[in-house]
Structure 1
Amino acid sequence: MTVINAEKAILGRLASEVAKRVLRGEEITIINAEKVIITGNREWILEKYREEREKKNVANPRRFGPKFPRRPDDILRRTIRKMLPYKKAKGREAFKRVKVYVGNPLNLQADEGLGTEKENTPYIKELTTNKYITLGEVSKHLGAKF
C-alpha cells in the first residue's frame, strides 16, 4: 500500500498518475484531499464546477441527475475514476484499490513499519502564478460540510 500526501499537488497530474498506478495493481491511499490545487482562473473554475453540479436530465423533467459530488475526497475520487476504463472489469477493480481521505483520519504516517511506503507527491510543480484554488475551497463553495 502506498500513502500519498496530496498537499499542494495539482489535481489532473495527481489523478492521472494514480490511475496509471492502480491499473498496474498498486493499492493507493491519498490523504489531505482538501489541499489539492486546481490551477487557473478562480472564477472560471468555480463556475465550471457549479455548472457541472447543477446539470439536469433533459429527458425527464421530474428527475434530477446526474449527481455530482461536493466533498473534496469525492471530487478527487471522481476525477480518478474518469481516467480509468470504469465500464470494464479491470477499471472497476482498479478503482476499488483507491482510498481518499480528507485530512489524515487514520494517522497513516505511523504505518511505515507495516510495509507501507509514505510518499510526498512528486506531482508538485513549482507554481509561478497565484492563479489557483484548493479543492477544499471549491467544495465549500458548492456547499460541502467537511
Structure 2
Amino acid sequence: MKKYTFMQRKEDVVREWHHYDAEGQVLGKLATEIAKKLMGKEKITFTPHIDGGDFVVVTNASKIVVTGNKLNDKKYYNHSGFPGGIRVRTAGEILEKKPEELLMLAVRRMLPKNKLGKQQLTRLRVFAGAEHAHTAQKPVKVEF
C-alpha cells in the first residue's frame, strides 16, 4: 500500500460561499473564523501553498463588538512615506466612519504576509448593513 502526502492542485479547488452576520460578535473571534475559511484550513484538502479557501460575505459590520477599552486604546498607523506623514486612528474612529475597514484590517493581519494572503483577502466581502449584493451565489449562513 502506497503512503503519500496529499497535495491539492489549483485546478481541483472547489470554492463555496459562506455568510456571517457580525451583529453582536466579538471582532477577534469573528476575524479568526473568517481567516480560517479564506485559507481553507478546515478542509481536508488543505495545502499551505495553494489558495484553496472559500468566499466569505459578512453583513452588519457596524454592529460588531470590541471588548475591553480597545475602541480608545487600539491604534492603527499609516504612513505616507513623507516626513511627518504618519496618520494615527483609533479603532473607535474606524468603526464610526468605515466599519468594514476595521474587520478587513483584523482579517488581513491573520492571513499570510505574502502574495497568497493578498489573493485570499480578495474573496472577503464586508458590508456595514444587513443587505449584501451576493444573494445570487446562495451563501450558506454560518452560526458559531
TM-score range, shorter chain: 0.5 to 0.7
Residue of structure 1 in register with 2:101 after alignment: 74
Matches within 5 A, 1:97-136: 97-106=123-132, 111=135, 114-119=137-142, 121-122=143-144
1:37 matched to 2:65: yes
What is the alpha-carbon distance in structure 2 between the residues aligned to residue 48 and residue 10 of structure 1? 16
* CA offset digits 1:85-117 (Å, max 9, x no partner): 1x3122111111111000123366xx3x75421
Q: For structure 1, list consecutive stretches of 5 or more residues without a partner in the other structure.
A: 123-146
Q: Name structure 2 gaps, 5 residues minimum.
A: 1-16, 41-52
Larger helix proportion of the pair = 1
When structure 1 is superposed on structure 2, of 4-13 and 66-75 the one drifting more is: 66-75
Q: Which has the higher relative contact order, 1 or 2, with Cα contacts under 8 A spaced 6 or more apart? A: 1
Distance apart, 1:66 and its partner CA: 6.9
- TM-score for the superposition, normalised by structure 1: 0.63
CA radius of gyration, larger in: 2
Cα distance in 2 between the residues matched to 1:114 and 1:60: 43
Alignment TM-score, normalising by the size of structure 2: 0.64
RMSD of aligned Cα (Å): 2.7
Distance 1:61 1:114, change over 3 A: closer
Shift, 1:75, TM fit: 0.6
Partner residue, 1:129: none
**2:38 corresponds to:** 22
SS of structure 2 residue aligned to 1:37: coil
Displacement of 1:56: 7.4
Aligned partners of 2:24 and 2:65 also within 8 Å: yes
Alignment length (residue pairs): 110
**Equivalent residues of 1:23, 1:90 under 8 A apart:** no
Q: 1:56 to 1:106 in 2, by over 3 A?
A: closer
Aligned-partner residue type, residue 7 of structure 1:
E
Mapped to 1, the partners of 2:28 and 2:67 lie a distance apart of 10
**Residue pair 1:3, 1:117 contacting (<8 A) in 2 also:** yes
